[in-house]
Amino acid sequence: MGKILRVNMSELTVRYEDLPERYLLFGGRALTSALVADEVPPGAHALGENNKLVIAPGLLSGTTAPCSGRLSVGAKSPLTGTIKESNAGGITAQKLASLDIRAIVVEGRPTGEGFHLLVIDENKAELVPAGNLAGMGCYQLNEELWKRYGTKSGVISIGPAGEMRMVLAGVSTNDGEGHPGRYAGRGGLGAVMGAKGLKAIVVRTDKTFDVPVKDREKFKEAARKLAQAIAEHPVTNSALPTYGTAVLINILNEAGGLPTRNFSSGRFEAAARCSGEALAELVQQRGGKGRTGHACHPGCVIRCSNVIPDEKGEVLCAPVEYESTWALGPNCGIADLDQIAMLNRLCNDVGLDTIETGVTLGVLMEAGVLAFGDGEAAINLLDREVRNGTPLGRILGGGAAAAGRLFGLTRVPTVKGQGLPAYDPRAVKGIGVTYATSTMGGDHTAGYAVAANILKVGGFVDPLSPAGQVELSRNLQIATAAVDATGLCLFTAFPLLDIDYALPSVVDMINAQYGVNLTVEDVVNYGKEILKTERVFNEAAGFTKAHDRLPEYMKYEKLAPHGVTFDVPDKELDEVFNF
Amino acid sequence: MGKILRVNMSELTVRYEDLPERYLLFGGRALTSALVADEVPPGAHALGENNKLVIAPGLLSGTTAPCSGRLSVGAKSPLTGTIKESNAGGITAQKLASLDIRAIVVEGRPTGEGFHLLVIDENKAELVPAGNLAGMGCYQLNEELWKRYGTKSGVISIGPAGEMRMVLAGVSTNDGEGHPGRYAGRGGLGAVMGAKGLKAIVVRTDKTFDVPVKDREKFKEAARKLAQAIAEHPVTNSALPTYGTAVLINILNEAGGLPTRNFSSGRFEAAARCSGEALAELVQQRGGKGRTGHACHPGCVIRCSNVIPDEKGEVLCAPVEYESTWALGPNCGIADLDQIAMLNRLCNDVGLDTIETGVTLGVLMEAGVLAFGDGEAAINLLDREVRNGTPLGRILGGGAAAAGRLFGLTRVPTVKGQGLPAYDPRAVKGIGVTYATSTMGGDHTAGYAVAANILKVGGFVDPLSPAGQVELSRNLQIATAAVDATGLCLFTAFPLLDIDYALPSVVDMINAQYGVNLTVEDVVNYGKEILKTERVFNEAAGFTKAHDRLPEYMKYEKLAPHGVTFDVPDKELDEVFNF
């Protein structure tokens, strides 16, 4: 039936509760959002005692469903003020699910100083003082924790940025090699964890695929079908495993939608130097521990991830994804892959969301604090200023919207206080609709219209025209909310959108596992209900249609090379949530 | 009939327009808010080309009405995101009115670098490059401008903070001695002026009381009555002129409502050292150019202002008001009057709102950036860090809400992003209602419930009880909006509330000046209409009842010495604007 593990940081107590009946079919984002909506007052300060950090594996996590190991982390976001869910790969979602833990709810606020670890094993959970682990970067921390608790342990942790409650701090989870690079990065959830005084959660179990399934035969058949669909689709069977997600650098650059130097152009003259192709070549040349086609969690069959080696073949950073490459690269005018990988590693170590970090760096570069293209200055900023919490480090740690405010800029690419990701909404208008209207603030994963705008997956909608973008984004936002509940990787959406037997196979798996009889339509409604829950929370927290807008300058500042502005009418944006 | 002087900073053009008929009876805040509401898109970036800075004398400014020389400055605020009006004394309102200028509207945005001066004389207005005046502190700037343009010139200017578009930058106006200490401080309007590339406005005329009045006899009689009411009321005839507004330090301390060390207590153990009484004694002891009973603008008969001398009797700061004393003193744990006066002088020179500066300093002290009570560190912070725009200076310049965000604090005393002034809302609950619900963000002048809560003016409402506060604040907010339209000093409200012939005398003056027949009821409706205009703008800009709230911690963190929280129910707060 499942348990909720409730951790009270005011009283330093831990207790298991039965999952309430009404949450039976809630997993991942559906469960984090429901728990936040049910238990957190919308007016709560995100870093105060009344906010709660909720961590939940997906509905299918811990089974043999392919690519089902995503871990959702939710709370009221200190970055956006909205409800928030961010999810990551890594090895922990499946371990939690295998221990029958459907959600960890961290609540209250420590009265004293100091950080704790939450250590969960197969029989119990307890809080122990973090001692000298506090202040540690995530690399060393993960090494220490594996020494103490074994190399099969799942680790969810924060770096110094989270401890300092910086609103661009993310929540790290480890991969099978113990790298802390799988991040629930967005929305400052690491700051919430820091405010709770929790340095890390350690899940001590060898189990990975041990969740009971009611109808094993039916499940197996459905899982096989989904795996087949993934293997059939050209994006998931070839482009992603070969070049990783950074294959998008050249594609977006070609489309004129690669935001360059703080969104001042849609094309980066040095894009080829930091493309997925260049990255794959670097991995091949250097060899050693480097690899492409790496899996972000057990059971992943897409394997779009990578391990970037340094010149000696040692691990420099694992992984370097498209959005991180873009944020720390083209958006900062940086094309050097070693610098980009080092910046990414520093984000992983200090505990920062790579996207928000890159967008903030871009804003600071626009402000003249450091020069566009100056990778060494950016490295220094992360490694020294942010890690040590200097005034300049605090400015970066406050995110792009705050940096823009502090320096009095108008070209500040944020929505609801969150930095926009790697697709300029003027040249990829469908994603612009998602940025503007998502319940999560500027977020590409909430409704990845890039699929139809650029990749021609799920049909084609001209990225430069305002027509059809609202419907596209709406449908994707609904579908995504449902996918985010399952623990499935968002990239399964490519076959789900294009291959007709794929979506029924997911529904069949849920039915087989839980002994229910959902239809495809039920799953669509399920996505709608998740969004409604989130919208109601956001409205009570003070969000209106006035916040469902891109930054004003994108309406009048033309983006090269196409000379486009964002021209989806406000009135149409207000129709996204018309269901 | 009156003119609007329209200044386009994109094109560097200046033109006079006739005041549209519908604005005939709009002055001060009524006119700034109407023009902003009519001409600025609510979604505009406050520092972008679509915001407008509006400067307007009051309806009665430039006449012999006592205390009628307030100047309103309005825009969409970069600090709060709301519509904003902030007003100040000084010599300029009456000069503009005497030149038949009902409003200056500064619009657009310069395409190049560099600042301009707007020079207005009796025949024309023109933009001239600011040259080496850019970057100058307001003291030196005002000296230079008087050298160039004569010592009768009214000067509206910004300091380096405004040029750097810091959101706690205010707009300075000069007094009759050329001190730049009369500030339209709140809401970051100096940053709007800075974003427009306007360093100063110089109004070159000797005229002060030259506005034509239709019925001079009737006007004279009504003005005499208002002067008599001011002379009769104990607050305006004695307490204010003798000790200045800082008389409130001891009073609020006694009431347990003097926010101390970032609102962590309502009583400051060293309050007596920085009280109005101590200030008056210092002025008397040191003599020289120091004085109490100083007027902030020509025609003021209350004379609550002061000039604080240094040890040699030279001018240290003019004036040092209650809210500034509190912000830079008790709220920072500082009791030394010389340090407080120096901090105030630095705010005037660098171009900062004293209240927002003090609230931000308090937050930074809570964050441990500097120690509570360390006046020298605070002086250094303003004089070096802010003036030079260092990272730490930019943090201070971002205001209290941003500082709280950057350091991950929950005890951040702001509403709608604006720092709360000198009255703790837990111990003075009427002002808490005003802070929460005002169209201007946390602002005491928008509905000064301290009058009835503490001073027993306009009746008495127990400051520690939630009962009656909403009605009190509502009525005061309506009355204040009307007063703010007239150019009358808000302190005329003391006799207006208590002496029955006072308010009719104001209505009579308006009728006599403009040849109209308003009733007292019309004036009340006028106040309501101003508030409605502002609310409609704010709603379109994304504000809801969720924003009409005090910081969450004030609901559960008890304030010493009375052990009180803010317990006016949310539902009642939502009834403030029920008209």
Interface check for B571 against chain A (CB to CB < 8 A): the answer is no
Are A408 and B164 an interchain contact pair (Cβ–Cβ within 8 Å)?
yes
Are A410 and B369 an interchain contact pair (Cβ–Cβ within 8 Å)?
no
pLDDT above 90 (res A113): no
pLDDT above 80 (res A288): yes
The DSSP 8-state label assigned to residue B265 in this structure reads: B
Spell out the alpha helix ranges (H) of B4-82.
28-39
- Tell me the pLDDT tens digit for each residue of A379-425: 999 999 999 999 999 999 999 999 999 999 999 999 999 999 999 99
Mean predicted lDDT score pLDDT of chain A: 97
Alpha-carbon distance of A374 to A351, in angstroms, equals 22
The residue-averaged pLDDT of A34-56 equals 98
Run of H or E including A119: strand A116-121
A169 within a domain of the structure (yes/no)? yes
Peptide bond into A319 cis (omega under 30): yes
Give the chain A residue whose CA is nearest to the CA of B391: A392
Chain A residues in contact with B167 by the CB 8 A cut-off are: 405, 408
Measure in Å the smallest separation between the Cα of B48 and chain A Cα atoms.
6
Interface check for B55 against chain A (CB to CB < 8 A): the answer is no
Residue ranges of A 162-191 with Cβ closer than 8 A to chain B: 164-167, 191
Alpha-carbon distance of A447 to A433, in angstroms, equals 9
Token pair of A175 as six digits: 């991969």
Measure in Å the smallest separation between the Cα of B311 and chain A Cα atoms.
35
Bridging pattern class, strands B13-18 and B53-57: unpaired
CA A556 to chain CA centroid, nearest Å: 30
Interface check for B436 against chain A (CB to CB < 8 A): the answer is no
A86 within a domain of the structure (yes/no)? yes
Interface check for B542 against chain A (CB to CB < 8 A): the answer is yes
pLDDT above 80 (res A486): yes
Alpha-carbon distance of A98 to A90, in angstroms, equals 14
B30 within a domain of the structure (yes/no)? yes
Between the CA of residue B568 and those of A53, B76, B420, B424, what are the distances in Å?
29, 29, 17, 14
Mean predicted lDDT score pLDDT of chain B: 97
A209 within a domain of the structure (yes/no)? no
The shortest CB-CB distance from A410 to any of B45, B407, B543 is to B45
A472 within a domain of the structure (yes/no)? no
User: ∠B104-B106-B109 over CA atoms, to 5°?
Assistant: 170
pLDDT above 80 (res A1): no
The shortest CB-CB distance from A544 to any of B405, B410, B544 is to B544
> How many domains, in total, are found in chain A?
1
B77 within a domain of the structure (yes/no)? yes
Q: How many CB pairs below 8 A link A and B?
A: 103
Residues of chain B with pLDDT below 50 are none
The DSSP 8-state label assigned to residue B272 in this structure reads: G
**What pLDDT is stored for residue A39 in this prediction?**
98
Run of H or E including B496: helix B493-498
Alpha-carbon distance of B414 to B359, in angstroms, equals 9
A173 within a domain of the structure (yes/no)? yes
The three-state secondary structure class of B178 is coil
The shortest CB-CB distance from A406 to any of B45, B395, B543 is to B395
Closest CA to A462 of A336, A330, A564: A564
**What pLDDT is stored for residue A239 in this prediction?**
85
Chain B residues in contact with A553 by the CB 8 A cut-off are: 45, 48
CA A180 to chain CA centroid, nearest Å: 14
Measure in Å the smallest separation between the Cα of A405 and chain B Cα atoms.
7
A252 within a domain of the structure (yes/no)? no
- Tell me the pLDDT tens digit for each residue of A494-511: 999 999 999 999 999 999
* CB neighbour list of residue A563: distance below 8 Å, 6 or more residues apart: none
**What pLDDT is stored for residue B359 in this prediction?**
98
Domain carrying residue B136? 3-203
Are B194 and A408 an interchain contact pair (Cβ–Cβ within 8 Å)?
yes
The DSSP line for A180-244 is --EEE-TTSHHHHHHHTTEEEEEEE-S-SS----SSHHHHHHHHHHHHHHHHHSHIIIIIHHHH-
Token pair of B209 as six digits: 């009381």
Measure in Å the smallest separation between the Cα of B263 and chain A Cα atoms.
17
Q: Percentages helix, strand, coil for chain B, rounded to the nearest 5?
A: 45, 15, 40
Closest CA to B275 of B289, B302, B254, B300: B254
Q: With a cut of 0.90, is the ipTM above it?
A: yes
Chain A residues in contact with B546 by the CB 8 A cut-off are: 42-43, 540-542
| Sign of the CA dihedral running A470, A475, A476, A478 | positive
- Tell me the pLDDT tens digit for each residue of B264-298: 999 999 999 999 999 999 999 999 999 999 998 99
Interface check for A392 against chain B (CB to CB < 8 A): the answer is yes
CB B545: neighbour CB atoms within 10 A? 16
**What pLDDT is stored for residue A400 in this prediction?**
98
Choose the mutation target among A410, A411, A557 for the interface with B, i.e. most B CBs under 10 Å: A410
Give the chain A residue whose CA is nearest to the CA of B79: A405
CATH code for position A112: 3.60.9.10
**What pLDDT is stored for residue A112 in this prediction?**
86
